[in-house]
């Protein structure tokens, strides 16, 4: 079975440009999570969706960040305008996420997108 | 603030030894606990999950959970150089669907 798919794997852009990261969750998973990982701050949850609806976006750093999930098999994380401090690895993860605990809470991570903003 | 605490390491053990990784969490009502392994430049991958007090064994890995002490650990027996990675502890807190991750412990297994 295909795991979580992310694209692009690497993105290099200049400050001020718009960046769009893409994610396809595991088929049948109804929860999707966007994380950012840096050496200084570790793995930070940005936003998560359940059944395509954003549930908690309190981790989104500022209005320059936005995320959408138009259907069960696709999500985007957009940064506009990008800044050098946005440079990080962005991970998408998915789970069956019924919220009742146990195995359904297990999150499976995609390979990540390494973003460099010059 | 709900937190997951881990010693950042590095934890250095000789090949063949037992590596012991520890994690504490702040919510006594937490339900699910996970250990992820992350190699440098790669994404986190699930190693173990544990949901009830006691030990859970899977091959060379044993997860231990003590909810009264709010403590979860991971033991790696017969450590191999290929186990050298960062190990992330993750907890599902009550009332929250997302997992809360610790900052990870870097393990180095010396040949």
For chain A, give the number of residues. Answer: 118
Tens-digit pLDDT profile for residues A47-83: 999 999 998 888 898 899 999 999 999 999 999 999 9
CA A104 to chain B, closest CA, distance in angstroms equals 10
Q: What is the pLDDT of residue B28?
A: 84
CB contact under 8 A, A99 and B88: no
CB contact under 8 A, A102 and B31: yes
Q: What is the pLDDT of residue B96?
A: 77
Q: What is the pLDDT of residue B105?
A: 96
Sign, CA torsion A22/B42/A46/B73: positive
Q: What is the pLDDT of residue A1?
A: 64
Q: Does A109 touch chain B (CB under 8 A)?
A: yes
Helix H, strand E, coil C: the string for B33-88 is EEEEEECCCCCCEEEEEECCCEEEEECCEEEEEECCCCEEEEEECCCCHHHCEEEE
Report the share of chain B in percent with pLDDT over 70: 98
Task: Tell me which of A40 and B88 has the higher pLDDT.
Answer: B88
Q: Rounded CA gap, A51 and A55, in Å?
A: 9
Least confident range from A41-50, A93-102, B16-25: namely A93-102
Q: Does A103 touch chain B (CB under 8 A)?
A: yes
């Amino acid at each position: 079975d295909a795991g979580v798919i992310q694209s692009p794997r690497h993105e290099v852009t200049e400050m001020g440009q718009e960046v769009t990261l893409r994610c396809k969750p595991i088929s049948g998973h109804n929860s999707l999570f966007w994380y950012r990982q840096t050496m200084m701050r570790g793995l930070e949850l940005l936003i998560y969706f359940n059944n395509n609806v954003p549930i908690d976006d309190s981790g989104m750093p500022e209005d320059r960040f936005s995320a959408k999930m138009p259907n069960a098999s696709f999500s985007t994380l957009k940064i506009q305008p990008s800044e050098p401090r946005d440079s990080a690895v962005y991970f998408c993860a998915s789970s069956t996420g019924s919220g009742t605990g146990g195995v359904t809470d297990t999150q499976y991570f995609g390979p990540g997108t390494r973003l460099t903003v010059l | 603030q709900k937190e997951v605490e881990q010693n950042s390491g590095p934890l250095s053990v000789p090949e063949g030894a037992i590596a012991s990784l520890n994690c504490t969490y702040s919510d006594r009502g937490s339900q699910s606990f996970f250990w992820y392994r992350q190699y440098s430049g790669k994404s986190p991958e699930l190693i173990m999950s544990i949901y009830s007090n006691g030990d859970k064994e899977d091959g060379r890995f044993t997860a231990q959970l003590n909810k009264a002490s709010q403590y979860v650990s991971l033991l790696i027996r017969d450590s191999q150089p290929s186990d050298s990675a960062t190990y992330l502890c993750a907890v599902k807190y009550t009332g929250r669907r997302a997992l809360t991750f610790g900052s990870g412990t870097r393990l180095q297994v010396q040949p």
